[in-house]
Each structure stands twice: as C-alpha cells, then as structure tokens.
Amino acid sequence: MSCNYIYIKNKTYGQSSSSTQRQSEITARPVEVYAFLDPLSEHSWSLEPYFKKLYLEYGNYLMIRPVISRHLSVLTERNLNKLKKIWESKSNGRHFLMKEDSASDSLVLFPWVALVIKAAELQGKNSGRVFLRKIQESYFLKKKNILSESVLTRCAKAANLDINEFKNDLYSTYAKNAYQCDLKVMKEMGIDSTPTLVLFNHEANEQGVKIPGVHHYDTYVQVLKGMIGHDLVQRPKGDLHHFMKLYKITTSEEVAIVYDWPITKAVQELKKLQIQQIVEKVTKEDQCYWEYME
C-alpha cells in the first residue's frame, strides 16, 4: 500500500502527564510517535500487532503515545452530566450500570470510554497504554461491555492501577481536561481521520511525519529509519512463550504478523503451547483468541 507522507512543524504539544517524566522518556527514545486512535474502531485496533512488533524490535528507538480521538466527537459539560445522571439513576447511585453482556451503542459509549482511558493515564503513561490495550481486548476479543464495573475493574487490575484512585478519577476534572487536551492536539496537528501516526525525532529537531491510515509494517520501519538517519539495529523478539507472558492475550493473525509466519505456522506454534498448558484457546461468538495461563 502506498503512503503519502505529510510533514508538519515540530513543536511542543500540551500534555496531561508530568513534563519531567515525558522528557526523560524522549531522551531515552529519540522518536516520539503520536498515535491518534479511536479505541472503538476496528481500523485503529488493527494497528495493535504493529505496535507490539515495533516495541519488540525497535522499542529502544521510539515511544508510542496514544491520543484518544474520534472525528466530530466533542465532550461537553452537558452530555457528560446527562450520561452521569442516566448511569446513576439506573444503578442506585453507583457509577456503573451495565452488565457484562448488555449491548451498548458505540456512539454513546465513546465519551465515557475516553474519560475512562484518561483516568487510567493519570496513574502513568505506561499504565494508561496497558489499560487501553486491555479495554480493546475486552471489547473486540472477549465481546465484553466496557461500561461494566467488573470489566473495567479487571482491566484496571491488569494495568496495575490503584482501583480506588481510578474510580475517583473517572468524574474528575483532571480526566476531562486530559481528554480535551487530546482533542486540542488532534486539532493542532490537523488530524481528520483515525488511525493516524505522527512521528517526531526530538534529537534532530526536524519536521514531523504524518502517516494517515493503516500501512504495511515495513512502511513504518522505513519511516523510522529515515528519521533516525541510519540503519536500525533490530532486537531479538524472543520466543512465542515470552510474547504470551508479556501480552497475555493474542490472536493467530497477530502472531503471524509479529513473527512473520504464515497463519498456519502461527496456529501450529500456539497449539504447541496449548499442549504444554501454557495458553488456552478461547472462542467467543465468531472470535477466536489465545490467552496465557498464569
């Protein structure tokens, strides 16, 4: 697939996290990747195998920063208060009303999910990234309703969040401001579709490269190489057991992408781990995935 690169001015964008923490991350990894994602879009979710592969092979060169965004989505005081009243009235004063298997409209769901993810990020960017992945796994693979208290709590625990602090932050102005900051960054960079990646090399202080849409993995590697200015040293990914221990949940298709295997070999290797009782195969509706057995 061809890719039209768009160069945009390098500048410092507003952040909700500690500037000291962010600067230390940039110093250690010269390329910062703003990943503009709609967490409820399968198109954005399809980038997850590439993110994992980039981290495993070239994680010492880059830092991926998800930016929660959806075109034409606006979080206002009015709709936030309206949603809060609905949730509380239907749950006897509790903030979570849905059962795990109840249906929900993604258009209504999105503002809430954005707040939930930003609340998780208040406990650290890495925790926020893990929580986002767990939310998407629950939504796309496990077919769970991510308005459910039990689902959110499990995702929060998997991301090693402080549960009480997480629940307190859900309706805080901090979470709302963090989400509005993401919308501001999206507007400043001229992002009009998701997913879109924007890469900056802060060491070179050059223009950033904007890549809309989903492309072949090699495209992202070539852009990264061009920004670094020399050949990249690829790190060993480790075996499939290591991958499963690190990420806990995967699909056959994702393993095939990460390890450059045919889908038949990916299934074969996963079945070997299944026989060793390292992973188990789970089928949910029309979705099949593999889960690490702790």
Q: What domains does the chain contain, in order, with CATH numbers?
A: 1-235 (3.40.30.10), 240-292 (1.10.10)
CB atoms within 10 A of CB 259: 16
DSSP string, 119-164: HHHTT-HHHHHHHHHHHHIIIIIS---TTSHHHHHHHHHHTT--HH
Cβ 20 vs Cβ 125: under 8 Å:
no
The Cα–Cα gap between 276 and 218 comes to 33
Q: Which residues pair with 158 in a beta bridge?
A: none
- Which tokens go with 100? 């795990």
pLDDT in tens, the chain (294 residues): 344 555 555 555 544 444 444 444 444 678 999 999 998 889 999 999 999 999 999 999 999 999 988 654 444 555 556 555 654 554 443 444 444 554 444 444 667 788 889 999 999 988 999 999 999 999 999 988 887 778 888 999 999 999 999 988 887 889 888 888 888 888 889 998 899 999 999 777 778 899 999 999 999 999 999 999 888 999 999 999 999 999 999 999 999 999 999 999 999 999 999 999 999 999 987 789 999 997
Q: What is the pTM of this model?
A: 0.81
